Amino acid sequence: MNDNEDDYHDEAEELRAATAAGAPELAEHDRLAELEKALEEAKSKALYAAAEQQNTRRRLEKEMAEARTYAAAGFARDMLAIKDHIDRALAAVSDELRADQTAANFLAGIEATARELESVFARNGVERVAAKGLPLDPHRHQAMIEIPSDQQPGTVIEEMQAGYVMKDRLLRPALVGVAKKPD
């Protein structure tokens, strides 16, 4: 071999040694980048899971608060029928019957019961829906009939059955008659 070939051979060996020595460094660098990427993905998933957990907790807290607030809604709805019966009974009493002392004492007891029921409703946030003289509100009123009238069409002019809300939730719509233009 001549000197030139020896030089080429030596250069090739040096290049091979340098490449072999640098390869683990490149592999290590790729492995580090891969681990950093995996760490970022894990952080992202952990943040997402934490946010989801917080959203679930807030949703459950809201549902529990609503359940506490409206727990008595079914009972209150059932009690409305009793209130209706008491109101109809009191409305049906004639002036003659009110003048009778025995009947008057009996009526006083029924009226006291009606007042107590109204008091219980008030303490629990149950209120009567305003209807007569107001425009029809489909969220609070249920129109049963249209009545020819001089009033503005769509105005509630008759209430057939009172409606009630508990706090901001409708228990029962008011059954109403609504004005329409005369024929």
Query: For the domain that residue 98 is a member of, what is the CATH number?
Result: 2.30.22.10
**Residue 146: which domain range?**
73-180
Q: How many CA atoms lie within 13 A of 121 on its CB side?
A: 23
Residue 179 CA to residue 152 CA, distance in Å, equals: 7
Residue 16 CA to residue 18 CA, distance in Å, equals: 5
Same domain flag for 58 and 147: no
Same domain flag for 18 and 65: yes
Same domain flag for 80 and 144: yes
Same domain flag for 52 and 81: no
Whole-number average pLDDT of the chain: 88
Question: DSSP state, 130?
Answer: P
Same domain flag for 63 and 77: no
For residue range 7-47, what is the model confidence (pLDDT) as tens digits? Answer: 767 776 776 666 665 555 557 778 888 999 999 999 999 99
Same domain flag for 45 and 81: no
For residue range 94-134, what is the model confidence (pLDDT) as tens digits? Answer: 989 889 888 889 899 999 999 999 999 999 899 999 999 99
CB-CB neighbours of 164 under 10 Å:
20
- Per the listing, tokens 């005369």 go with 182
Residue 131 CA to residue 141 CA, distance in Å, equals: 7
Same domain flag for 108 and 174: yes
Whether 177 contacts 147, CB under 8 Å:
yes
**Alpha-carbon distances, residue 139 vs 48, 157, 162 (angstroms):** 39, 17, 14
Using N-to-C axis directions, what is the helix angle for 73-91 and 101-123, rounded to 10°?
150
Is residue 62 predicted with pLDDT exceeding 60? yes
Is residue 52 predicted with pLDDT exceeding 60? yes
Decide which of 14, 44, 69 is a domain's last residue: 69
Reading the block at residue 179, the tokens are 């004005």
Same domain flag for 128 and 148: yes
Decide which of 69, 95, 129 is a domain's last residue: 69
Q: Exposed, middle or buried, 73 (CB in 10 Å: 0-12/13-18/19+)?
A: middle
Same domain flag for 102 and 167: yes
| CA 6 to chain centroid | 87
User: How many domains does the structure of the chain reveal?
Assistant: 2
- pLDDT of res. 120: 93
Decide which of 46, 69, 92 is a domain's last residue: 69
